[in-house]
Protein backbone atom coordinates (compact mmCIF):
# COMPACT_ATOMS: atom_id res chain seq x y z
CA UNK A 1 0.00 0.00 0.00
CA UNK A 2 1.18 3.52 -0.76
CA UNK A 3 2.08 5.36 2.43
CA UNK A 4 0.30 8.58 3.41
CA UNK A 5 2.46 11.36 4.81
CA UNK A 6 0.42 14.28 6.16
CA UNK A 7 1.90 17.72 5.55
CA UNK A 8 1.03 19.81 8.62
CA UNK A 9 2.16 23.22 7.33
CA UNK A 10 -1.42 24.52 7.14
CA UNK A 11 -2.01 23.67 10.79
CA UNK A 12 0.94 25.91 11.62
CA UNK A 13 -0.47 28.62 9.33
CA UNK A 14 -3.67 28.73 11.41
CA UNK A 15 -1.67 28.87 14.64
CA UNK A 16 0.55 31.66 13.39
CA UNK A 17 -2.42 33.79 12.32
CA UNK A 18 -3.25 34.48 15.96
CA UNK A 19 -0.01 33.80 17.78
CA UNK A 20 0.05 31.51 20.79
CA UNK A 21 -0.21 27.77 20.41
CA UNK A 22 -3.73 27.09 19.10
CA UNK A 23 -3.92 24.74 17.35
CA UNK A 24 -1.03 22.86 18.93
CA UNK A 25 1.07 21.77 15.94
CA UNK A 26 2.99 19.12 17.86
CA UNK A 27 -0.14 17.53 19.33
CA UNK A 28 -1.83 17.59 15.94
CA UNK A 29 1.13 15.79 14.37
CA UNK A 30 1.02 13.09 17.03
CA UNK A 31 -2.75 12.79 16.59
CA UNK A 32 -2.32 12.40 12.82
CA UNK A 33 -0.07 9.44 13.53
CA UNK A 34 -2.65 7.98 15.92
CA UNK A 35 -5.33 8.42 13.25
CA UNK A 36 -3.34 6.37 10.74
CA UNK A 37 -0.84 8.63 8.98
CA UNK A 38 2.31 6.70 8.12
CA UNK A 39 4.41 9.85 8.06
CA UNK A 40 4.53 13.55 8.88
CA UNK A 41 5.84 16.10 6.39
CA UNK A 42 6.91 19.67 7.14
CA UNK A 43 8.30 22.35 4.86
CA UNK A 44 9.98 25.14 6.85
CA UNK A 45 10.58 28.30 4.84
CA UNK A 46 12.93 31.19 5.59
CA UNK A 47 10.12 33.57 6.63
CA UNK A 48 8.66 30.93 9.01
CA UNK A 49 5.15 31.79 7.85
CA UNK A 50 3.97 28.32 8.83
CA UNK A 51 6.28 25.60 10.17
CA UNK A 52 9.17 27.04 12.16
CA UNK A 53 12.57 25.54 12.80
CA UNK A 54 11.57 25.23 16.47
CA UNK A 55 8.58 23.11 15.42
CA UNK A 56 10.91 20.80 13.50
CA UNK A 57 13.09 20.36 16.56
CA UNK A 58 10.08 19.76 18.81
CA UNK A 59 8.63 17.18 16.42
CA UNK A 60 11.84 15.18 16.32
CA UNK A 61 11.37 14.00 19.88
CA UNK A 62 7.76 12.87 19.62
CA UNK A 63 7.10 11.39 16.17
CA UNK A 64 7.02 7.62 15.83
CA UNK A 65 6.36 7.37 12.07
CA UNK A 66 8.46 8.59 9.14
CA UNK A 67 9.55 12.22 9.41
CA UNK A 68 9.96 13.94 6.02
CA UNK A 69 11.41 17.45 5.90
CA UNK A 70 11.03 19.37 2.64
CA UNK A 71 12.81 22.52 1.66
CA UNK A 72 15.33 24.46 -0.34
CA UNK A 73 18.86 23.36 0.58
CA UNK A 74 20.26 26.64 1.86
CA UNK A 75 22.96 26.41 4.51
CA UNK A 76 20.51 26.78 7.43
CA UNK A 77 18.29 24.04 6.02
CA UNK A 78 21.19 21.66 5.50
CA UNK A 79 22.35 22.29 9.08
CA UNK A 80 18.82 21.55 10.32
CA UNK A 81 18.71 18.23 8.47
CA UNK A 82 22.06 17.20 9.92
CA UNK A 83 20.79 18.08 13.39
CA UNK A 84 17.39 16.40 13.17
CA UNK A 85 18.33 13.37 11.05
CA UNK A 86 14.83 12.73 9.68
CA UNK A 87 13.91 9.57 7.80
CA UNK A 88 13.82 11.57 4.58
CA UNK A 89 14.72 14.98 3.23
CA UNK A 90 12.95 16.18 0.10
CA UNK A 91 14.88 18.84 -1.80
CA UNK A 92 12.61 21.46 -3.39
CA UNK A 93 13.84 24.35 -5.59
CA UNK A 94 11.76 27.02 -3.85
CA UNK A 95 12.73 30.65 -4.06
CA UNK A 96 12.33 32.33 -0.64
CA UNK A 97 9.30 34.36 -1.75
CA UNK A 98 7.16 31.66 -3.40
CA UNK A 99 3.69 31.05 -1.96
CA UNK A 100 3.94 27.30 -2.50
CA UNK A 101 6.14 24.89 -4.44
CA UNK A 102 5.61 25.60 -8.13
CA UNK A 103 8.31 23.72 -10.05
CA UNK A 104 10.60 20.73 -9.90
CA UNK A 105 14.38 20.75 -10.08
CA UNK A 106 16.16 20.93 -13.39
CA UNK A 107 18.40 18.02 -12.51
CA UNK A 108 20.31 18.34 -15.77
CA UNK A 109 21.14 22.04 -15.58
CA UNK A 110 21.86 21.88 -11.84
CA UNK A 111 23.43 18.45 -11.71
CA UNK A 112 26.75 19.45 -10.16
CA UNK A 113 25.07 21.58 -7.49
CA UNK A 114 22.68 18.76 -6.56
CA UNK A 115 25.42 16.15 -6.53
CA UNK A 116 27.30 18.08 -3.84
CA UNK A 117 24.20 18.66 -1.73
CA UNK A 118 23.00 15.07 -1.98
CA UNK A 119 26.45 13.69 -1.19
CA UNK A 120 26.45 15.83 1.95
CA UNK A 121 22.99 14.67 3.08
CA UNK A 122 22.95 10.98 2.13
CA UNK A 123 24.97 9.92 5.20
CA UNK A 124 22.24 11.55 7.31
CA UNK A 125 19.00 10.28 5.75
CA UNK A 126 17.23 9.19 2.57
CA UNK A 127 17.26 11.94 -0.07
CA UNK A 128 14.34 12.60 -2.40
CA UNK A 129 14.36 15.22 -5.17
CA UNK A 130 11.22 17.08 -6.26
CA UNK A 131 10.93 16.85 -10.06
CA UNK A 132 8.51 17.33 -12.92
CA UNK A 133 7.10 14.22 -14.60
CA UNK A 134 9.90 14.24 -17.17
CA UNK A 135 12.16 11.26 -17.85
CA UNK A 136 15.19 13.50 -18.32
CA UNK A 137 14.68 15.00 -14.86
CA UNK A 138 14.21 11.55 -13.32
CA UNK A 139 17.39 10.26 -14.96
CA UNK A 140 19.18 13.41 -13.82
CA UNK A 141 18.10 12.80 -10.23
CA UNK A 142 19.62 9.34 -10.42
CA UNK A 143 22.92 10.74 -11.70
CA UNK A 144 22.87 13.26 -8.85
CA UNK A 145 22.78 10.41 -6.34
CA UNK A 146 19.18 10.71 -5.09
CA UNK A 147 17.44 7.76 -3.44
CA UNK A 148 13.97 8.80 -4.59
CA UNK A 149 12.13 11.35 -6.67
CA UNK A 150 8.91 13.08 -5.73
CA UNK A 151 6.78 13.78 -8.80
CA UNK A 152 5.27 17.28 -8.79
CA UNK A 153 1.59 16.53 -9.44
CA UNK A 154 0.10 20.01 -9.92
CA UNK A 155 -0.49 19.53 -13.66
CA UNK A 156 -2.16 16.17 -13.07
CA UNK A 157 -4.53 17.71 -10.53
CA UNK A 158 -5.27 20.71 -12.74
CA UNK A 159 -6.19 18.56 -15.74
CA UNK A 160 -7.80 15.61 -13.99
CA UNK A 161 -11.42 16.75 -14.34
CA UNK A 162 -11.10 17.49 -18.06
CA UNK A 163 -9.31 14.30 -19.13
CA UNK A 164 -7.83 12.10 -16.45
CA UNK A 165 -6.34 9.63 -18.94
CA UNK A 166 -4.35 12.37 -20.65
CA UNK A 167 -3.49 14.03 -17.36
CA UNK A 168 -1.84 10.87 -16.01
CA UNK A 169 0.12 9.89 -19.14
CA UNK A 170 3.43 11.59 -18.47
CA UNK A 171 3.36 10.54 -14.82
CA UNK A 172 3.06 6.88 -15.79
CA UNK A 173 6.04 7.26 -18.13
CA UNK A 174 8.11 9.06 -15.49
CA UNK A 175 7.22 6.46 -12.86
CA UNK A 176 8.36 3.66 -15.14
CA UNK A 177 11.61 5.50 -15.76
CA UNK A 178 12.17 5.88 -12.02
CA UNK A 179 11.72 2.14 -11.58
CA UNK A 180 14.01 1.45 -14.54
CA UNK A 181 16.88 3.50 -13.11
CA UNK A 182 16.38 2.24 -9.55
CA UNK A 183 14.81 5.25 -7.86
CA UNK A 184 12.09 5.09 -5.24
CA UNK A 185 8.93 7.04 -6.09
CA UNK A 186 6.95 9.62 -4.13
CA UNK A 187 4.37 12.14 -5.32
CA UNK A 188 2.75 15.30 -4.06
CA UNK A 189 1.06 18.65 -4.70
CA UNK A 190 -2.70 19.17 -5.10
CA UNK A 191 -3.54 15.50 -4.66
CA UNK A 192 -7.02 15.27 -3.15
CA UNK A 193 -10.01 13.04 -2.40
CA UNK A 194 -11.14 13.66 -5.97
CA UNK A 195 -8.00 12.61 -7.84
CA UNK A 196 -5.87 10.47 -5.51
CA UNK A 197 -7.36 7.04 -6.10
CA UNK A 198 -6.92 7.13 -9.86
CA UNK A 199 -3.36 8.42 -9.52
CA UNK A 200 -2.47 5.67 -7.09
CA UNK A 201 -4.05 2.99 -9.25
CA UNK A 202 -2.30 4.10 -12.42
CA UNK A 203 1.20 4.85 -11.13
CA UNK A 204 3.43 1.79 -10.77
CA UNK A 205 5.65 1.42 -7.70
CA UNK A 206 4.30 4.51 -5.90
CA UNK A 207 5.69 4.39 -2.37
CA UNK A 208 4.49 7.58 -0.70
CA UNK A 209 2.23 10.57 -1.20
CA UNK A 210 2.63 13.77 0.78
CA UNK A 211 -0.65 15.68 1.13
CA UNK A 212 -1.29 18.84 3.08
CA UNK A 213 -3.56 21.59 1.79
CA UNK A 214 -6.42 19.43 0.53
CA UNK A 215 -6.31 17.06 3.48
CA UNK A 216 -6.30 19.81 6.11
CA UNK A 217 -9.12 21.60 4.25
CA UNK A 218 -11.17 18.39 4.12
CA UNK A 219 -10.60 17.92 7.84
CA UNK A 220 -12.53 21.16 8.47
CA UNK A 221 -15.60 19.34 7.16
CA UNK A 222 -15.01 15.72 8.08
CA UNK A 223 -12.69 15.86 11.10
CA UNK A 224 -9.04 14.91 11.06
CA UNK A 225 -9.35 11.25 12.03
CA UNK A 226 -12.10 10.56 9.52
CA UNK A 227 -10.28 12.49 6.78
CA UNK A 228 -7.04 10.57 7.21
CA UNK A 229 -8.94 7.30 6.99
CA UNK A 230 -10.75 8.53 3.86
CA UNK A 231 -7.42 9.26 2.17
CA UNK A 232 -5.92 5.97 3.27
CA UNK A 233 -8.80 4.02 1.76
CA UNK A 234 -7.97 5.59 -1.60
CA UNK A 235 -4.43 4.20 -1.34
CA UNK A 236 -5.38 0.54 -0.86
Residue 169: active-site member:
no
Residue 70: active-site member:
yes
| Residue 32 to residue 13: CA distance in whole angstroms | 17
- Measure Cα distances from 53 to 42, 49, 78, 189 in Å: 10, 11, 12, 22
- The answer to whether residues 4 and 211 touch, using CB atoms and an 8 Å cutoff, is yes
How many beta carbons lie within 10 A of that of residue 158, not counting itself?
12
Q: For residue 190, is it left (φ>0), alpha (ψ between -120 and 50) or beta?
A: left
Reference 231, options 206, 194, 185, 203; nearest CA is 194
Which candidate in 66, 150, 189, 208 is catalytic? 189
Residue 189: active-site member:
yes
Tell me which H or E stretch contains 84: helix 75-84
| Residue 49 to residue 192: CA distance in whole angstroms | 23
Tell me which H or E stretch contains 149: strand 148-152
| Residue 169 to residue 151: CA distance in whole angstroms | 13
Which candidate in 66, 70, 132, 139 is catalytic? 70
The residues carrying an active-site annotation are: 43, 70, 189
Amino acid sequence: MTRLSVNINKIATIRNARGGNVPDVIKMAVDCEKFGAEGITVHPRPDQRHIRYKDVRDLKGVLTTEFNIEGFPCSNFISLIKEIKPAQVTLVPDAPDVLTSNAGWDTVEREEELKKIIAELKPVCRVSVFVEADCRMVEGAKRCGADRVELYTESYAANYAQNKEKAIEKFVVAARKADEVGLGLNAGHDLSLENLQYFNRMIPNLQEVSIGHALISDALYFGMENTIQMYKRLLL
